[in-house]
Amino acid sequence: MRRKIIAVALATIMILAMVACKKSETVEQGYSPKYSSDTEYKISVVGTYSNFESLESSIERFYAYYPQGEIEYTYLDDYRNSIGHALAGQEAPDIYVVQPWMYGNPQYQDLFDNAEVLSDPELGINLDCIRSGLRWEMEDGNIVTLPVFATSYGMLVNMDIFEKENLEVPKNFGELLETCQKLKAAGYESPMMGANISTTPGIGYAFAYPMFASVVKDGGDIEEGLNNMSPSAGEAMREPLTRLQELVDSGCIDIDKCTAEIEDDYNGVIMRFFQGDVPMMLCSGDVVSGTKKREGTSEDFSARPFKYDFYVAPSGDEGGYYMDSISILFSVNKNSANLDMTNEFMRFLTSEGELGLIAQEKRLITPTKDYSLDEVYGSLADFPEERTISFNDISLLDTAVKQFRAAAYGVTNGQMTVEEAVASYGKLPTD
Amino acid sequence: MKRRYIIIINIVIVGLIFCIIVKYSNDRALESNQSSVASFEKMTTTTDQIIANYLEDEQHLCDIWSNYINGSAEAGNPMTVEEAISYIRKAKISPEISGHLIYIDDGSMLGISTSASTTDSSDYSVDYSHISIFENIEISNVSGAVNLTRAYTNPLNGVQSIAFLNNVKVLDVETAAIREALLIRVVPVSRLEQKLVFLKGEYENVEISIIDWDGDYMIHGKSLKNSNFFEYFKSYNPMSTQELNDVIDAIHNDVGSMHISNSKREDSIIAYTPLSGLDSWYLIAYIPANELTANRSIDWLLLLIVSIGLMVLLHFNLIILRGFNRKLAIAAEAANQANEAKSHFLSTMSHDIRTPMNAIIGMNEMILRDSHDKDILMYAESIRAAGNTLLGIINDILDFSKIEAGKMELIEVDYNFVSLLNDLVNMVQRKAEEKGLAFELQVDRNIPTMMHGDEIRIKQVITNILSNAVKYTKKGKIVFSISYSKCEDEQDYIILHVSVKDTGIGIKKEDLDKLFVAFERIDELKNRKIEGTGLGMAIAQSFLKMMDSTVQVESVYGEGSEFFFDLKQKVVKWDPVGEFETAYRRFVSEREEYKVSFVAPGARVLVVDDSEVNLKVFASLLNRTRMQIETADSGDACIELFKRNFYDVIFLDHMMPDKDGIETLREMKACIDTPNLKTPVICLTANAISGMREMYMEAGFDDYLTKPIDTGKLENMLLQYLPPNLIEDDSVTHSILVVNDDVTILRQIKEWLSPIYNVTVVKTEAQAAQYLKNHETDLILIGSDMHLENDFENNQIMRNNIDLTDKDEVITQVKKYFDK
């Protein structure tokens, strides 16, 4: 009798466990395959990352539904120049990476012309999970790109230092100056650091560009002037450059120290931050994406790990500006030999869960509305709308952005005054 | 053995078989796996050869191109870039393969291609300035060996390719200068991959990768994630830096294989080998481990079948065993009943014989104590001897039952060796003389006097052997010899060598084995008139075994036998016994006559027995203790007295009609209204078989005494249980003053009474008076015509109205006086 009871109990537990497993699977995925699981396929994805493990993980999850196929990610050398050739070649990729700056450049027009319309209702791709500011509609209203990662500009904050010094992360420029004074008094020579380079993760861009974008967003016609390289449009840079100048002059950041101790705008930034003595490190979201892997390779961080988070730089009097930019997007080659399964893969990918997982693994900002998967970016959730500048809010061309980068670098390094920079808009050397 | 133990043992055996099969299967599987892995490694090296040959071929074709171009230059007719490309365009057969020629002398890495850009069919220009594939190659001098790059993107068609390199010299049309250029034979990676398709036939899921020194892939297996193999390896196979370096070293320098975890944490195998003929390129063949270890499932199936078979066998055996167990249980029950019957028989026999024996021996003891008639004493002595023999037989049976039950224990005491020897000699000498046999005693005079051991059992062993010798010898002699030797290891011990040699009937060789078997009697027909149970030698042997010894026999049938054994004994006193005769006399003279060990006139004892004569025996034996002894002849009578009178000790028989001793005891214990709540109750029983003591103690008795009653034991027990204040020392020798004018009589009386009493003799009343002034005396023997001057209590004076010339009368009268 006792054996019977045990057997019944075990059977019940097994059934319950199976039901529970199945239930949780359904709840977690929310994806149901459109085709038979024995469908054979071969999909190639090409991109700019030499290493794209987070996508490979997603592919593994896709294999759970379609095991009889193969999706291969390939890094293309000299992507800017080779993607066009690849797309026109005999081994054209099925999915390829697109970046916002490519739009409008004739060299890349084929990338958009050859792209499948993902917003086609027949495909059943749920683009609603993407934040509205990041959904990129073409002029005809079609969406041909899927944002995979978002990025932003701001700073990595060593939370342990703030806790140790009993300080709050500053929310506006006034607090920043005050906090920096306290940190300097506590022995932190340069409370803020960053890569003294004119690229997007560089000091000037990371700190001042979101404010510049805000000015552009609120500036009406000024965007057109900026895109047309109109010198008078340079006035839009005055406020952010002045704030940048104030930052440098305040002693919050020691530019010479940054130049000496940070070799480049990626690895150098991360490894210097991991030494553990920098309270705030200016950078971009792309830089943050490299932190997870380097935690293990940094001897300093391995020996003395600390908690860190990403915050927007508190450049404004009311607070910082959250630049909600797109890092990379995927487009589907509409001429793909495996178009159905490629679209099916995109349908699988386009969900809060899957995009969230990829972003979390890559440690970039998810393009979806749910920031909860990666606590490093927790500060960005519920950021005030009025100080958020989304991808769709401005349409600055790459040339205009480069002008600002050059101006910010010049001001940061004392190569020009704010006045000179504003006056030189459109003529600033960018190479 | 209990059923559950059998089941457990069976399960253990099944488990062991299971383990053996598992181990065997695992070993076979391991061997099979090792063999599979070895084959896999072999396949890898074969693949390496195929790839190496292919790469050499491709490099060779690249070299042909460059040799042709360089040959023209060397011949003084250098080709322009366009001419060189045109030549290559003609020379190359496959449209998939293209040739790129780029300038390296100005670092521009610009040049032209044999194929046009996919985006512009008129554009043949090529730019390698943004493609980092030459970092580890000295591009100005790449001649000689196979020179290829990592997989990279063909800048003109976006196809993943590998490049084979050689240096060429071409003519710059604009400057007319000879320029250094790099000729690149661009081969799609897929072309190399096609060469490896054959592997799929042998291994379905094999994936071939080729990595460079840093781990970057040229060919990238689907399952190997990351752009760098070593990064991938580190991500999914956590290990220390040193361990990782060891792995990297192994891949760089060795040919072999290893288990790794893939990105799904599944066990996988990689085989690796450096690519032949190339520096810094390595072949990695990946395969899921289960593809190489698939054979194991067959072993598991076999294991399952065997396990089921064993379980069926186990159940079958259990069913059969259950049947046997049922029969065995019935047989065991029958055996138990038989055993119980035997125990009951022994108990009954012991009880029923001991009960009358108690009366016979007890009463005879009284005769021996009180009678002075020589004839009567002789008859009584005969009764005692016969009684003791009968008791010996009963004791043998009881001893045997104790030995069988494993309850026999040795009781070691200090004993006088002379006394032991004397008892033995006394016992056997008389018997031998009665049969007309000579008895020769050979005792080593240096044997120590006092030793420590179980005197009773030693005596019993030797008595058995001696009795047998007398019994089975018709004529001739019996030689009883005891010698000793010192223990070398232990200073305080000696080894006694005991031997009994006779000229008896002897024992046949074939019968020697039966000698120590219980109830076996040798030559039963011939010896049927000789009394005995057949237990004696078995018991003797058992006792000796308990004393770490064994009796041995040498015998010639018809001529005689010798029984001998060695016995280790602890020495208490090393004084040598000397000549036995002398020692014996000394022992006798030193030995005290029986004398009551105590008197307790104030003590009250109740004895309960249904046999009137036994009650009488009990009371008589304790007569001299002067205790107040009351008797009861039934349980009910006992309880009545128990409630009414106080007793210091109660002796209660077990087997009584109506209400037996245990029932009576139970009632006594339940009784609260009695002055005897703390009175010890001792079981007085004829039931002496093994286990009885425990049974009586468990029933609630305080102690246990067997019948026939041994006076010494009885008195010792009383001394133990009586309150000390009731015990009076009776060991003081009574003093007697004899007054008589006849010196001869005085001398005689002194001689007769001196061994027992302090006797003082005086010839006159005056001397008596003088003596009494200074001394106390218990009794004055005085002639009827004589008077003492001082006042003495009459009861102290025994007038001389007895015949002082009659020794017996004198002793008897004096004894009677003191007994009163």
Which residues on adjacent β-strands are paired with residue B195? none
Contacts of the segment B798-805: beta carbons below 8 A, 24+ positions apart = B800/B740, B804/B740, B804/B745, B804/B748, B804/B749, B805/B745, B805/B748
Nearest to B225 among A56, A70, A88 (CB): A56
- Nearest Cα neighbor of B576 from B658, B650, B655, B482 is B482
| CATH homologous superfamily of B604-726 | Response regulator (3.40.50.2300)
Residue B166, SS3 per DSSP: strand
Which residues on adjacent β-strands are paired with residue B211? B217, B282
Mutate to test the interface with A, among B97, B124, B227, B233 (most CBs of A within 10 A): B227
Q: Is B265 on the interface with A (CB under 8 A)?
A: no
DSSP A414: T
- Tell me what pLDDT residue B593 has: 47
Where chain A has pLDDT below 70, the residues are 1-29, 431
Q: Is B764 on the interface with A (CB under 8 A)?
A: no
Q: Which chain B residue is nearest to residue A107, measuring alpha carbons?
A: B119
- Tell me what pLDDT residue B646 has: 93
How far A10 CA sits from the closest chain B CA (Å)? 22
| CATH homologous superfamily of B409-590 | Histidine kinase-like ATPase, C-terminal domain (3.30.565.10)
- DSSP annotation string for B245-279: HHHHHHHHH--EEEEEE-TTS-EEEEEEEEPTT-S
Q: Is B623 on the interface with A (CB under 8 A)?
A: no
The CA distances from residue A117 to A125, A354, B58, B649, B725, in Å, are 10, 20, 42, 118, 123
- Nearest Cα neighbor of A354 from A129, A118, A120 is A129
- Tell me what pLDDT residue B518 has: 62
Beta carbons within 10 angstroms of residue B658's beta carbon:
10
Whole-angstrom distance, CA of residue B303 vs CA of residue B500: 69
Task: Report residue B28: phi and psi, to 5°.
Answer: -65, -45
How far A115 CA sits from the closest chain B CA (Å)? 16
* Number of A–B residue contacts, CB under 8 Å: 82
- Tell me what pLDDT residue B38 has: 87
Q: Which residue has the tokens 């010479």?
A: A256
ipTM entry: 0.78
For residues A58 and A25, the answer to whether their CB atoms sit within 8 Å is: no
Q: How many whole angstroms from its chain centre is CA B470?
A: 45
Contacts of B164 (CB under 8 A, 6+ apart): B55, B58, B59, B61, B62, B146, B147, B148, B184, B185, B187
- Tell me what pLDDT residue A323 has: 92
Orientation angle between helical segments B241-253 and B229-236, nearest 10 degrees? 140
For residues A203 and A215, the answer to whether their CB atoms sit within 8 Å is: no
Whole-angstrom distance, CA of residue B674 vs CA of residue B606: 14
Side by side, the strands of the sheet bearing B779-783 are B758-762, B735-739, B779-783, B797-800
Where chain B has pLDDT below 70, the residues are 1-3, 143-146, 294-299, 343, 347, 385, 389, 405, 407, 518-534, 581-596, 688-691, 729-733, 755, 789-803, 819-820
- Nearest Cα neighbor of A62 from A49, A71, A54 is A71
- Tell me what pLDDT residue B352 has: 79
- DSSP annotation string for B755-774: TTSEEEEESSHHHHHHHHHH
- Tell me what pLDDT residue B790 has: 57
- Boundaries of every domain in chain B: 61-191, 196-292, 409-590, 604-726, 735-819
With CB atoms and an 8 Å threshold, state whether A89 touches B222: no
Mutate to test the interface with B, among A41, A78, A295 (most CBs of B within 10 A): A78
Whole-angstrom distance, CA of residue A331 vs CA of residue A96: 5
Nearest to A74 among B155, B160, B225 (CB): B160
Delineate the domains of chain A, giving CATH numbers in brackets. Answer: 37-148+325-374 (3.40.190.10), 153-324+378-423 (3.40.190.10)
Can you read off the two tokens belonging to residue B24?
Answer: 């065997």
pTM given for the model: 0.56
Which residues on adjacent β-strands are paired with residue A326? A150
- Tell me what pLDDT residue B584 has: 61
How far A51 CA sits from the closest chain B CA (Å)? 5
Partners of A74 on chain B (C-beta within 8 Å) are 160, 220
* A210-257 confidence digits (pLDDT tens): 999 999 999 888 999 999 999 999 999 999 999 999 999 999 999 999
Nearest to B158 among A50, A57, A87 (CB): A87
- Nearest Cα neighbor of A280 from A362, A124, A168, A135 is A168
Nearest to A86 among B158, B222, B227 (CB): B158
Can you read off the two tokens belonging to residue A2?
Answer: 């006792």
- Tell me what pLDDT residue A243 has: 96
**One-letter amino acid identity for B218?**
M
**Which stretch of DSSP H or E encloses residue B184?**
strand B178-188
Check if CATH label 3.30.450.20 holds for domain B61-191. Answer: yes
How far A126 CA sits from the closest chain B CA (Å)? 28
DSSP B790: S
**Three-state secondary structure along A201-226?**
CCHHHHHHHHHHHHHHHHCCCHHHHH
Q: Identical fold at B196-292 and B409-590?
A: no
- Tell me what pLDDT residue B439 has: 87
Whole-angstrom distance, CA of residue A223 vs CA of residue A86: 34
DSSP B221: -
Check if CATH label 3.30.70.20 holds for domain B735-819. Answer: no
Which residues on adjacent β-strands are paired with residue B110? B127
- DSSP annotation string for B611-680: -HHHHHHHHHHTGGGT-EEEEESSHHHHHHHHHHS--SEEEEES--SSS-HHHHHHHHHH--SSTTTT--
Identify the CATH class of B196-292: alpha beta
* B407-463 confidence digits (pLDDT tens): 677 778 788 888 788 778 877 887 888 888 888 888 898 899 889 988 878 888 898
Whole-angstrom distance, CA of residue B256 vs CA of residue B747: 123
Can you read off the two tokens belonging to residue A155?
Answer: 């700073």
How far A57 CA sits from the closest chain B CA (Å)? 8
- Tell me what pLDDT residue B191 has: 87
Q: Which chain A residue is nearest to residue B216, measuring alpha carbons?
A: A50
Partners of B133 on chain A (C-beta within 8 Å) are 77
Partners of A113 on chain B (C-beta within 8 Å) are none
Cα Rg, chain B, nearest whole Å: 58
**Three-state secondary structure along B69-118?**
HHHHHHCCCCCEHHHHHHHHHHHCCCCCCEEEEEECCCCCCEEEECCCCC
Q: Is B118 on the interface with A (CB under 8 A)?
A: yes
Whole-angstrom distance, CA of residue B256 vs CA of residue B247: 11
DSSP A253: B
Nearest to A51 among B133, B155, B226 (CB): B226
For residues B785 and B739, the answer to whether their CB atoms sit within 8 Å is: no
